[in-house]
Amino acid sequence: MPTAPQILPTQITEGTAPGLRYRLEGELVPVLHVALDGRVPVYFEHHVLLWKYPEMQLGLHPLKKGLKRRVMGGMPLLLLEAQSAGELAFSRDAPGHIAALHLQAGDGIVVREHQFLAATGGVEYDYSRMKGFANMMYGGGFFVDEFFAADQEGVVWVHGYGNVFEKLLEPGETIDIEPGGWLFRDHSVQMSQEVYGFKPGMLSGSGQLVFNRFTGPGRVGLQSAYYHPPGEETGAGGGGTGQQIGGGGLLGGIVGGLLDN
């Protein structure tokens, strides 16, 4: 009988990866603490930085695709990078569960948009558009973040709402996940959409149950709370507005001025 998805650790007191040590803490709004030895940088969205020591050097992490496409896709306009030895911490400013996803050289992972927290510098970052009715209507967005560890081990940290569970799929094994519930999947895992129709008497034809179907081999991650709309975090409405504007600073004002012209 197939095994059910298993909850990932909510607390990690001593995690390690090349060039760094990390720990996961917090009972309600979790925090990722990272201690760098200066050999490997860590990159992140600017508004998730919780604190750092003054001597920590920050810079811009290079992005592959241009400003216009990122604005149209609702993706972050910039990524920052911690470039020196020292300690800093990150938080998504929301209740949930941080998961540490270790990638070996040659591994890749797909993460739903606006839930990436940080990643080690050797992991390549890109994004792509998701198509399909299930993701448009129920998944909360059109884009996903993609990460690839080309020639060295790396780590991607993600924030899930509620708790984060993981299912390791065997080759050909499948699982159906509510579209707002999936969080990440290995590149080797295929995703398709399944729509089930129901005919409840007078409402015949109006009832539909939509799932994303994942087919192994590889990992797929689930979050137990429904994903909130991206607008709440990017400033289109809701609780994330203050932090996004405050974190954007001068750059946010410049970009806003350019887009208004």
Q: Is 68 helix (H, G, I), strand (E, B) or coil?
A: helix
Interval 139-161: pLDDT, tens? 445 688 999 998 889 999 999 99
Helix H or strand E segment including 150: none
Q: Of 82-91, 162-171, 239-248, which range is least confident?
A: 239-248
CA-based end-to-end distance of the chain: 60
Average of per-residue pLDDT values in the chain = 81
Q: State the pTM of this model.
A: 0.80
CA distances from 206 to 100, 133, 246 (A): 41, 15, 44
Nearest to 82 by CA among 125, 37, 23: 37
Interval 205-261: pLDDT, tens? 556 788 899 999 999 999 999 765 554 443 333 333 333 333 344 444 433 433 343
